């Protein structure tokens, strides 16, 4: 499976490792208690989409099922006032310290983050994770290195090898209601840029696997996210559309596969989404993900042969259906 689960469902609104708007969460925390304890449960369903050869094109669904994924993250966040002023741009400034634990059926990863808002429409953050993984039922791999001789992804020993990822980000956010007050005037937009470094310890393999996702490489990576949405004072509290652009800064991170495999290929995801407010402590998110992936010159064999194949263009597909439920304690 070439899975890249959309468990980062809330990064769009600048507050952390989730993907959707938690616009009022920070203020609510600041005005009541500094601590916020939460659990976020995420799932994704992937239809089967066969690879077509050639230059840039669209490929339809070829089968009903190609896999599912699930994850849960437990977070504790502590928010403090930070450089607050008397004007509307600095009155709610904050710094938030977050510690968490992400668990999937094949991986476990502690996470940490510090987020600072020096002015109403900006947030800067740094964070990192160190995780390890294992094989489940000889079917699902959490952590593995690539062996081109077979070719195959060979499992690595859990807790002896680690996936490391550290990052920094900046997020700009805008709400039309700040200029035109009203419950029905919340047209919101965000733009986020994240840069980080990822590595799998204990291997000199140029390509490796993490959380059942093949085709990773150690090196500097980036992620850009842009979102426009409409927030409403009803159960269906937000609808919107976003795009995520991600990849490696350097093709050479893929070593001997860099040129033919196009190591600096930029993956593009376009995702319409909806947020449903179930109560004061519960929100449900749903999205459809349309993604562009590498297209190859040769006839496609399997995921294990991908690094040995020759990039020829961009293939657009319907990638997944994602769901996420966040509960505050």
% of the chain with per-residue pLDDT over 70: 90
E strand or H helix at 129: strand 122-133
pLDDT 10s digits, 42-84: 999 999 999 999 999 999 999 999 999 999 999 999 999 998 9
Distance (Å, rounded) from C-alpha 270 to C-alpha 291?
A: 6
Higher pLDDT, 18 or 15: 15
Q: Is 164 exposed, middle or buried (0-12, 13-18, 19+ CB in 10 A)?
A: middle
3-class DSSP state for residue 171? strand
Distance (Å, rounded) from C-alpha 215 to C-alpha 194?
A: 20
Q: What is the mean pLDDT of the chain?
A: 91
pLDDT at 7 over 60: no
pLDDT 10s digits, 123-174: 999 999 999 999 999 889 999 999 999 999 999 999 999 999 999 999 999 9
Distance (Å, rounded) from C-alpha 274 to C-alpha 267?
A: 23
What separation in angstroms does the CA of 124 have from each of 47, 93, 120, 210, 212?
36, 12, 12, 27, 30
pLDDT at 244 over 50: yes
pLDDT 10s digits, 245-259: 999 999 999 999 999
Distance (Å, rounded) from C-alpha 22 to C-alpha 189?
A: 13
pLDDT band at 279 (very low <50, low <70, confident <90, very high): very high
**Helices within the chain (DSSP H only):** 25-31, 258-261
- The pTM assigned to this predicted structure is 0.90
Domains contained in the chain, CATH given = 11-328 (2.40.160.40)
Between CA 221 and CA 198, with CA 243 as vertex, the angle to 5 degrees is: 15
pLDDT 10s digits, 177-225: 988 999 999 999 999 999 999 999 999 999 999 999 999 999 999 999 9
pLDDT band at 14 (very low <50, low <70, confident <90, very high): low
Instruction: For strands 311-328 and 122-133, give the pairing.
Output: unpaired
- Give me the pLDDT at residue 310, please: 97
- Give me the pLDDT at residue 31, please: 54
Between CA 271 and CA 278, with CA 275 as vertex, the angle to 5 degrees is: 155
């Amino acid at each position: 499976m070439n899975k890249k689960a959309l468990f980062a469902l809330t990064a769009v609104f600048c507050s952390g490792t989730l993907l959707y708007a938690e616009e009022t969460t920070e203020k609510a925390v600041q005005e009541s208690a500094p601590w916020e304890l939460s659990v976020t449960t995420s799932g994704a369903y992937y239809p089967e989409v066969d690879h077509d050869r050639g230059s840039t094109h669209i490929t339809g669904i070829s089968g009903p099922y190609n896999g599912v994924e699930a994850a849960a993250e437990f977070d504790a966040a502590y928010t403090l006032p930070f450089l607050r002023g008397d004007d509307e741009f600095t009155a709610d400034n904050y710094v938030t310290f977050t510690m968490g634990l992400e668990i999937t059926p094949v991986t476990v990863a502690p996470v940490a983050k510090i987020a600072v808002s020096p002015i109403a429409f900006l947030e800067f953050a740094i964070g990192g994770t160190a995780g390890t993984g294992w094989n489940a039922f000889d079917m699902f791999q959490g952590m593995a290195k690539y062996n081109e001789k077979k070719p195959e992804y060979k499992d690595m020993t859990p807790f002896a090898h680690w996936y490391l990822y550290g990052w920094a980000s900046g997020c700009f956010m805008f709400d039309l209601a700040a200029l035109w007050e009203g419950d029905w005037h919340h047209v919101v937009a965000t733009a986020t840029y994240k840069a980080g470094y990822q590595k799998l310890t204990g291997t000199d393999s140029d390509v490796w696997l993490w959380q059942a996702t093949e085709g990773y490489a150690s090196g500097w990576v980036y992620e850009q996210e842009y979102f426009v949405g409409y927030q409403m004072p009803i159960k269906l509290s937000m609808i919107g559309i976003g795009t995520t652009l991600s990849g490696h800064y350097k093709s050479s991170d893929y070593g001997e596969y860099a040129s033919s495999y196009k190591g600096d290929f930029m993956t593009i995801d376009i995702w319409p989404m909806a947020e449903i407010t179930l109560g004061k402590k519960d929100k449900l998110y749903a999205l459809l993900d349309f993604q562009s992936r590498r297209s190859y010159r040769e006839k496609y064999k399997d995921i294990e042969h991908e690094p040995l194949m020759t990039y020829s263009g961009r293939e657009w597909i319907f990638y997944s259906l994602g769901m996420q439920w966040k509960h505050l304690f």
